[in-house]
Structure 1
């Protein structure tokens, strides 16, 4: 599998320092409260595996948000507190804010885990600076990448450190690769893929890749608007990049040649995105007027998509199909979620924070085969079959 080694293949004997890159890029409220700790919990199997070796010093690192310099609101303190509450009894988490002087602070103590300050407080992280990678590498003896959701980025902590230390993938990375490979490389048919988003330009290569895999391709959100325009329908004031329409027209022909059914809406919900009370009006796509704005799929489209999903054996889903910022226009996304959850025979993979946050109720998440911690990373992995972070681990152990 990609010619990389995993942490459960490493010798964790003696007093070695393990530098673990995770993806703790969680959403914080204005009061610095954690809304969803799923990404922290997803890394626990790797963390707990390493902690089974009591002589090892575990040093965890992650980025958080998009800070401009060192901003207090992007401190890792809330992450430290939540992680400490999830570790086995008796363990503490020590936050070491200053990475450049961290080496003297990282001494082995029983039942102590170290968490470095936000990697993006240092400019060298995003620029892939070899000097910053060297600074990080000097803190450990071996490196583990368990940050699947960040491995599509060529950051210093992702691609730089494996050039300097024996390097392994974590157990979450292993799980992500196995599940996505199963869905893409040897899928059971029928295969249904649902892709949301806005720009065709950024998704065109992925959509073409999916025609090799999917029997039915469902496009939602702004993507659906572009394809409706390409098919000759009026889309009114809906979000649309006019330059993308010719690309969508080309893809309509491409999908037909590859015998992939591109399922577009028959009816839509139009309305005011700022109106949080009325929920808009349902119109057939042929009835959309010049002053209308498409914000969700309609009930007939929901039913048609639901039928396709109920017969699927493999389902890949990334991105909401409606205007998720307004609860009134999440009904289509919720319907697809319930349809996927009700199909207990299918292998289902759902990816991306936007997808999960667009779902109003989470009680059926355990009916999904695999919930990926990566949105962009999952899509890039499907498209290219690898990621920069995975490539960096090859032959690095």
Structure 2
């Protein structure tokens, strides 16, 4: 059964319970340092207000581990949301009565209750009293089987996805069922172990798999290429060999770095040197892809019709080792095809390159994006299909 979108639901003047992802970063003074997750929920909230709905929002913040901790309160979020909506948003600290406090109210941090992360049926029932309709718009948490995401949905006949969740499902699931080709996926980050299922799933779909970042050194080690002191997952070298063989068997081109930007020390101001080829000398560690690799990868990106990117090409937080990652972002920005940024560090890289407005879709989820691209069902989505 397909997940219903907002415009497929009868919402006029209803009480609507909405799971959002307001897990925003705050400084030590409880000032929000990045409100993009709050802003991402605004289209759904505004649509519900236009429909005359009474809205109860709910979210987690951080990991208070089932205890009430003031530093994890959603009070600053309620205040900021009120400013954005130009209406008062009440913070509800006692969930027992299911009462109303204005047109828009926000329940206090769900994870103050141990029942949230345990997917507790009684806690879900308490939450369910706040709505006639349930909407999940929290893609960033949709991979977690928690009470506000999974168990609560069982109490509703009318339920569906908010605009943000629906958009994520469209680009990370539906669009990749029949992608325009060539279909290229770029994978980076430090560990193969974190992205094993993702790599396997993409091998079944893509024409070319481009590998960078720390995980590339484990693949090079699997090919018997010297990688010096670079990061390598010794326990996954055999797994890397299997994936290389799988690509060969399925006719998928896997591209690995041809050269590297390496240094003797893992530090921001380390002296960087370009290697002559794939080999990294003893005493050196790879911290970014080299210029020859950048040219190769950019050529592949330019020719692609569909591109999915997850994970940086190097230690992009440090200016010296950011060139590879920024160049991938810029090459994708110039591509007129479908360009999808699959969450996590890639989002920060695209923002750093200043090309976020030139991408087809930038995912708001980290773990959820990986799960979906890896072919997994998300508990938060499955709950809406029932």
- Name the TM-score class by shorter chain: over 0.9
1:125-180 deviations in whole A, cap 9, x for unaligned?
11211121112112222210011121111111111111112321112111111222
Alignment of 1:178 with 2:170, yes or no, is yes
Deviation at 1:199, TM superposition (A): 3.0
Alignment of 1:239 with 2:211, yes or no, is no
Alignment of 1:129 with 2:120, yes or no, is yes
Alignment of 1:85 with 2:83, yes or no, is yes
Structure 2 distance, partners of 1:296, 1:101, is 53
Structure 2 distance, partners of 1:157, 1:292, is 48
Structure 2 distance, partners of 1:233, 1:189, is 31
Question: Secondary structure at 1:234's aligned position in 2?
Answer: coil
Deviation at 1:351, TM superposition (A): 2.1
Match of 1:159 in 2: 150
Alignment of 1:375 with 2:366, yes or no, is yes
Which has the larger displacement, 208-217 or 33-42? Answer: 33-42
Q: 1:336 aligns with which of 320, 328, 341?
A: 328
1:85-137 deviations in whole A, cap 9, x for unaligned?
322x4x121122x2434624x24x3xx41111122222221121112111211
Deviation at 1:334, TM superposition (A): 0.8
Tell me how many residue pairs correspond in the alignment. 384
Deviation at 1:26, TM superposition (A): 2.3
Distance 1:78 1:296, change over 3 A: farther
Q: 2:299 aligns with which of 300, 307, 310?
A: 307
Alignment of 1:117 with 2:108, yes or no, is yes
The answer to whether the 8 Å contact 1:26/1:34 transfers is yes
1:170-194 deviations in whole A, cap 9, x for unaligned?
1211111122235311111111101
Q: 1:95 aligns with which of 84, 91, 94?
A: 91
Structure 2 distance, partners of 1:280, 1:71, is 45
Question: Secondary structure at 2:313's aligned position in 1?
Answer: coil
Q: 1:144 aligns with which of 131, 135, 149?
A: 135
Deviation at 1:340, TM superposition (A): 0.3
Q: TM-score, normalised by structure 1?
A: 0.90
Match of 2:349 in 1: 358
Distance 1:266 1:29, change over 3 A: farther
The answer to whether the 8 Å contact 2:309/2:342 transfers is yes
Structure 2 distance, partners of 1:30, 1:325, is 22
Which has the larger displacement, 325-334 or 244-253? Answer: 325-334
Structure 1 distance, partners of 2:23, 2:276, is 40
Distance 1:331 1:360, change over 3 A: farther
Match of 1:224 in 2: 216
The answer to whether the 8 Å contact 1:226/1:244 transfers is yes
Gaps of 5+ in 2: none
Deviation at 1:223, TM superposition (A): 1.4
Gaps of 5+ in 1: none
Alignment of 1:276 with 2:268, yes or no, is yes
The answer to whether the 8 Å contact 1:233/1:285 transfers is no
Structure 1 distance, partners of 2:310, 2:204, is 17
RMSD after superposition: 2.0
The answer to whether the 8 Å contact 1:193/1:216 transfers is yes
User: 1:31-46 to 2 correspondence within 5 Å?
Assistant: 31-46=29-44
Match of 1:59 in 2: 56
Which has the larger displacement, 189-198 or 4-13? Answer: 4-13
Distance 1:34 1:328, change over 3 A: farther
The answer to whether the 8 Å contact 1:318/1:375 transfers is no
The answer to whether the 8 Å contact 2:368/2:378 transfers is yes
Structure 2 distance, partners of 1:338, 1:99, is 49
Structure 1 distance, partners of 2:264, 2:344, is 25
Structure 2 distance, partners of 1:36, 1:365, is 16
Match of 1:347 in 2: 338
Structure 2 distance, partners of 1:101, 1:86, is 28
Question: Secondary structure at 1:70's aligned position in 2?
Answer: coil
Alignment of 1:259 with 2:262, yes or no, is no
Structure 1 distance, partners of 2:371, 2:355, is 26
